[in-house]
Amino acid sequence: MESTELLPNGLRLLQDDAFFKLGQDSVLLSAFARPRRFARVLDLGAGTGALTLLSWREDLRMTGLELQEGAAALFSRSVAQNDLHNVTVMIGDLRQIRTLLPHGSMDYVLCNPPYFKRGAGKVSPLDAHAMARTDGEATIEDVAVAASYVIGSGGKCAMVFRPERLLTLITALQRVRLTPKRLRFVHQTAEKAPSAVLIECRKGGAADGMVVEPPLLVQNSNGSLTQEYKSIYHFD
């Protein structure tokens, strides 16, 4: 069933039960990412376009790359309905990135990659959902290679991932000269272990100098939402 989601920035996102829907990870990643002004931005594995639309700014030139034609079609309709003239939707496999986009053609890459290994975690019975949640189609190594290929020297990428697979992610990124520079863990409460990690890398950056930012807390100890979390969602 198709529906429309009003995003925190006022844009409208078309969704369908057949595809992975908007979740907290994309919202928090869009708030964490810091593309420079007038940057060329690529959303790898864009799905129905949630992360692109959440991160949209008028000064950016944005491209969303998505493998599934149905998801890309919804994305394109959202772009049209929001009258966004600086967003391009591409259909293609990120594992074939060299045939899709020029080397070094982007300044910033966004990605909410598959975060479970195939055979691990709870996998949705719907193929589209499984592709979004597991690395059966594209591994985190594939994502890192694609990101590094399109990012020019000094460019950056931002991702959200599961803390228990952080070493796997960092290893994949470093193999293709993407050096972690900012790291932030997301906790439901201060007492709980992190549920997600936000990471920003620089292409060709020095190994030293990574900043571990204060944790992002979803709830206070009394169960209410934190002020920062409410600000991200524009609840105030």
Q: What is the pLDDT of residue 122?
A: 53
DSSP 10-36: S-EEEEETTSPPP-HHHHHHHHH--PP
Question: For residues 146 and 46, what is the distance between their CA atoms, to the nearest angstrom?
Answer: 14
The token pair at 236 is 């105030």
Angle between helices 140-150 and 166-175 (to 10 degrees): 40
pTM of the model: 0.90
Which residue in this structure is represented by tokens 């899709």? 100
Tell me how many degrees the CA angle 68-74-75 measures, rounded to the nearest 5: 85
- The answer for residues whose C-beta is within 8 angstroms of residue 175's C-beta and 6 or more apart is 141, 144
Distances (CA, A) of 81 to 75, 78, 127: 10, 5, 27
CA 60-54-19 angle, to 5 degrees, is 120
* Consecutive 10-residue averages of pLDDT for the chain (236 residues): 92 92 94 98 97 98 97 97 98 98 98 69 49 63 98 96 96 97 98 98 91 98 96 88
Give me the CATH topology for the region 2-184+198-203: Rossmann fold (3.40.50)
Instruction: Report pLDDT for 135.
Output: 41
Q: Token pair of 55, please?
A: 């991160």
Mention every residue, 6+ apart, whose C-beta is less than 8 A from residue 80: none
pLDDT value for 109? 98
- How many whole angstroms from its chain centre is CA 47? 10
The predicted structure's pLDDT at residue 236 = 67
The C-alpha atoms of residue 210 and residue 32 are separated, in whole angstroms, by 15
Q: Give the separation between CA 61 and CA 217, rounded to whole angstroms.
A: 31
What type of residue sits at position 35? P
Instruction: Tally Cβ neighbours within 10 Å of residue 124.
Output: 13
